Amino acid sequence: MDSLHAIGFYVSAAISVGGALLVAFLPGRGARGLALGVSGLGIAGLYASLSADFAGLVALVCYAGCALLIAAPRYRVVDTPVGFAWRQAGGVAAAGLFAVLAYAAYRGDFVEATYRGGEIGSAAIGRVLFAHDALATAAVGALVFVTLIGATAAWRMRERGR
Amino acid sequence: MSAGLVSVLFVAVALVAVGAFVATWKRDLSSALAGLPLMFGGAGVAFAGAARFSAAGDPKIFGQEVAALLAVAALALVALGVGIAGRGSSR
């Protein structure tokens, strides 16, 4: 990885993790949605600096959609009955997860290799998606189909209930 | 200045951990949904990093493929969650 890609990687890493932390701590759905969009921008930049431009484009579109969904006026509040102590335990568990995974990443003895692929690689990814891993692509397509039907049904039921 | 697989995995781990924190810490379930794309993004970054830096494996861009699929899956799950969540008041 040359210096330009490395600078892009570290800037994108700061944007993505900073945006994620803002998602965690900002109040209000609008600010959270904006922070999620910023984090998605950082994640797309990470993909681009890792020579995965096509995945970056897909991530940019998908995270913009997620941000719009989180910030949309149709957003509803659903309070969970879980107590503060359990949520606090969950936060500590997330910190423990970070510690364990970071230690595993630091201590891992990885073999590095020279990357010979292109920058965007959409044709190669398309070949992999539709020829090599067609079942996984079909599964994600089915997931999207089911979620769209489920979301539409839920919205219609809520509108009918008013 | 350079970045290797360990740096990529550190960023991926941070995203996954912050996503898990958002999912567990938020009292509002709809807010907790925002943790899902962060965790999926972290996993995608790890996959893309492994595809970029790893030596073996065929096809070579398997990680990029998984990263793209994870982004689509995250959007679908957030849409489903926002759709089915909530009969309360908007905030």
State whether residue A152 sits within 8 Å of chain B by CB. yes
Same domain (yes/no): A106, A152 = no
A3-25 and A29-49 helices, crossing angle to 10°: 160
Q: Do A78 and B88 make contact, defined as CB atoms within 8 angstroms?
A: yes
State whether residue B41 sits within 8 Å of chain A by CB. yes
Q: Which residue has the higher pLDDT, B45 or A90?
A: B45
Q: Which residue of B has its CA nearest to A52?
A: B64
Measure the CA–CA gap between A121 and B44, rounded to whole angstroms. Answer: 16
State whether residue B57 sits within 8 Å of chain A by CB. no
Q: Give the range of the structural domain holding residue A162, as residue numbers without chain letter.
A: 121-162
Same domain (yes/no): A16, A36 = yes
Banded model confidence at residue A125, pLDDT cuts 50, 70, 90: confident
**How many domains, chain A?**
3
Does B41 map to a domain?
A: yes
Measure the CA–CA gap between B72 and A25, rounded to whole angstroms. Answer: 25
Does B73 map to a domain?
A: yes
Task: Let me know: does B28 contact A75? Beta carbons within 8 Å.
Answer: no
Task: Let me know: does A99 contact B13? Beta carbons within 8 Å.
Answer: no
Considering CB atoms only, which of A87, A129, A132 is closest to B24? A87
CA–CA min distance A72, chain B (Å): 10
Does B62 map to a domain?
A: yes
Q: Give the range of the structural domain holding residue B79, as residue numbers without chain letter.
A: 28-84
Does B11 map to a domain?
A: no
Same domain (yes/no): A106, A128 = no
State whether residue B39 sits within 8 Å of chain A by CB. no
Same domain (yes/no): A26, A71 = yes
Confidence (pTM): 0.80
Q: Give the pLDDT confidence score for residue B11 in this predicted structure.
A: 93
Q: pLDDT tens digit string along A42-52? A: 999 999 988 88
**How many domains, chain B?**
1
Q: pLDDT tens digit string along A69-100? A: 888 876 666 777 777 788 888 888 988 888 88
What is the enclosing helix (H) or strand (E) of B75? helix B62-84
CA angle at residue A48 from A47 to A49, to 5 degrees?
90
Contacts B41 to A, Cβ<8 Å: 16, 39-40, 43, 59, 63
CA–CA min distance A123, chain B (Å): 11
What is the enclosing helix (H) or strand (E) of A121? none
Q: pLDDT tens digit string along A1-26? A: 677 788 889 999 999 999 999 998 88
Q: Which of residues 28-87 of A touch B (CB under 8 A)?
A: 28-29, 32, 36, 39-40, 43, 46-47, 49-52, 54-55, 58-59, 62-63, 65-66, 69-70, 72-80, 82, 87
Residue linked to tokens 């994620």: A20
Same domain (yes/no): A107, A133 = no
